[in-house]
Structure 1
């Protein structure tokens, strides 16, 4: 049986002009990549191209538009996803705005997130999805934070934000990491009791358990299908055995790169340099930056290593393996649609987050890619509109 699904446009807003000798010269595209390589004049056009792509996706029928937070890198140029979400809130009409997500434990004051997301929800007419993340290890180098405190800070920040949205203020908060004499958030979010919460992650056992406990949709980016089956299976088991509900497809989201052309050979050839740019330059991240000491548990580290090994064919960048494992959907519209449905069914997920802008892919090619998907793939997909606030199965036909 084919799962009904929602279609999101997942955008990283990468810098497309990183040098080919990046790893030899600078070691990483994160934290230490000199900012003199950033050209603000070109950046002006780039940001507007990226926003045009997201706005176009709203016009052609995508269910949601995704923005995210990363710092001091060429991988994703959104140190403030809420600024991007604010632009989209006024310039889009239909699609949800999925902030995937705010690094709530990276903030000295999580109430700023509560205020900003509530304001975005009101301005957008209740279209915000609020993702909460810890941030990958590199963020702790960029922001000079102790990674060993990331999880406890995250949990407390989450509890504080939810209470600020759902309890009358003012009230006092005296926690382990955060202390406020007055918590009294204005404005309140339009969606009640609060906007839907998503939990993006890369297979951390602790995060899977936390998401299942709260009934939050669990989102994985660029993860091989075999690993998705394992992660989602664990979520379903925890949800059923520990919290008494059945987790349906609306609880699981998955990101894959997408590129469509008239024939498969052309699609593979045209997408290759952009996916290679993404893998070798955007994600040029040494292990000690990705997972610094104290950042995660041994079990979660093992899962991460296994997923990366599977996704890369056991070694470095492997384009064919990325296609084989579902991290990239490349081909004709018919092939992409068939593989998308097959992978969604196998993983049991109802949320597809397509990366239609890949690496250094130019604007015109991205727009054509979006148009092909909307015209030739989306009409053949079983669509839905999910109620993400419900714990149990909750699908409404589109």
Structure 2
């Protein structure tokens, strides 16, 4: 079982009373809420926490891309990944991920990842996403073109990594007379590709296709939905003529470890509730703009996932839904091991810094997780592909 440390780099100093005036922490929240005098210290802290995860023995560290939001201060995750190539030694660096439909030059993305793979000595994991609905308001990209631009950009990037150049590429959305990237990536045939997703039916089917077999990553979802989507991936693999492996499935979950269950609940409560009720706050039309997903996927996500987020969440309801894990090291490892065996996953992506959580709590949780949770999971995790 591979264990990753995931960081969103949130703006933890956000004035949470913003909801008295604004209905979203994304796109429309005035950037005057960001105190520019604090930014340098925030990045220094967060890059330090990611580097600490490498020192503590996590198999990988994860960054991601979001735009115009207090939820995450990483509009350019490649920049953070570049810094991490110099401050880390062993951990994989997973960029989860780049939002392909938002870019007009996929060849530049291929070049960036190739550079990072060389700079890190072959430690890069590439994550390709379409970007959540709000990113289309931030970028001005037509959401009805999301799938088409995504698939075409993906095709072009893989060809740029694997096909000797120069060659021509003329598609519907992108056109180049010369594709000839320098440098080329270290890893062959190319860096591993992971697909983070909210659970789109189309994404699961595409990800599990026999010609790809990409690792599917379920993010911040009720555990019932995560289980259904992992089962759907396995069913798609079986239909395609192969048996999905645990290494093809990953689960991202906010996690907090403290000395006791009582301390963990008390310390985590304000931060996990701020995360779901404040940082993840935006109206449904911004989450799912018309044309962004199929009718079937939109209906499924609204019913199974966004209906949960539409109401005020408490630490107890979130815990009951399996949308966060917290407690003593013993409690956390037992819960995670149970879920791992039920879901048949091979990759755990632990979000160990949550919203407004201060540095001392984050570091405590990281150290306890690394010392008392991770070794237990690695020693006892099931190698079964699916739940018994």
Would the aligned equivalents of 1:326 and 1:343 in 2 still touch at CA under 8 Å? no
Deviation for aligned residue 1:364: 1.3
Residue from 293, 296, 301 that aligns with 1:296: 293
Q: Using the alignment, how far apart are the partners of 1:27 and 1:325 within structure 2?
A: 24
- Show the counterpart of 1:234: 232
Measured in 1, the distance between the counterparts of 2:262 and 2:307 equals 24
C-alpha RMSD of the superposition? 1.7
Name the structure 2 match of 1:388: none
1:331 aligns with 2:327: yes
Is 1:218 the counterpart of 2:216? The answer is yes
Q: Is the 8 A contact 1:311 1:325 kept in 2?
A: no
Residue aligning to 1:273: 270
CA 1:394/1:344 → structure 2, altered by over 3 Å: closer, same or farther? closer
Question: What is the aligned counterpart of 2:363 among 342, 367, 382?
Answer: 367
Residue aligned with 1:21, SS: helix
> Which runs of structure 2 are paired with 1:57-136 in the superposition (5 Å)?
57-136=53-132
Shift of 1:307: 2.8
Selected match of 1:252 from 228, 249, 253: 249
**Cα pair 1:104 1:134 within 8 Å, conserved:** yes
Secondary structure class of the residue paired with 1:97: strand
Q: CA deviation at 1:265?
A: 1.5
Match status 1:164 vs 2:171: no
Deviation string 1:134-180 (CA, Å, 9 cap, x unpaired) is 00000000011100000000000000000011111111111000000
Match of 1:390 in 2: none
Distance 2:109 2:225 in 1: 31
159, 180, 190: which is aligned to 1:184? 180
Greater displacement, 231-240 / 56-65 = 231-240
State whether residues 311 and 327 of structure 1, in contact with CA within 8 Å, keep that contact through their aligned partners in structure 2: no
How far residue 320 of structure 1 moved from its aligned partner, in angstroms, is 1.1
Contact 1:311–1:322 (CA under 8 A) maintained in structure 2: no
How much does 1:90 deviate? 1.2
1:126 aligns to what SS in structure 2?
coil
Whether the 8 Å CA contact 2:165–2:181 is kept in 1: the answer is yes
Deviation at 1:309, TM superposition (A): 5.4
Native 8 Å contact 1:259 1:356 kept in 2: yes
Q: Deviations over 1:184-236 (max 9, x none)?
A: 01110000110000000001000001100110000011112211111111111
The question of 1:198 aligning with 2:194 is answered: yes
Ranges of 4+ aligned residues in structure 1 off by more than 6 Å: none
Structure 1 residue ranges without an equivalent (≥5): 385-392
Provide structure 2 residue ranges, at least 5 long, that are not aligned to the other structure. none
Which moved further from structure 2: 27-36 or 73-82?
27-36
Q: What CA distance in whole angstroms lies between the structure 2 residues aligned with 1:307 and 1:196?
A: 30
Residue in 2 that maps onto 1:155: 151
Taking structure 1 as reference, are residues 222 and 294 closer, same or farther at Cα in structure 2, changes over 3 Å only? same
Name 1:207's counterpart in structure 2. 203
The answer to whether residue 9 in structure 2 is matched with residue 18 in structure 1 is no
Q: What is the aligned partner in structure 2 of residue 31 from structure 1?
A: 27
CA contact (8 A) 2:258 2:364 kept: no
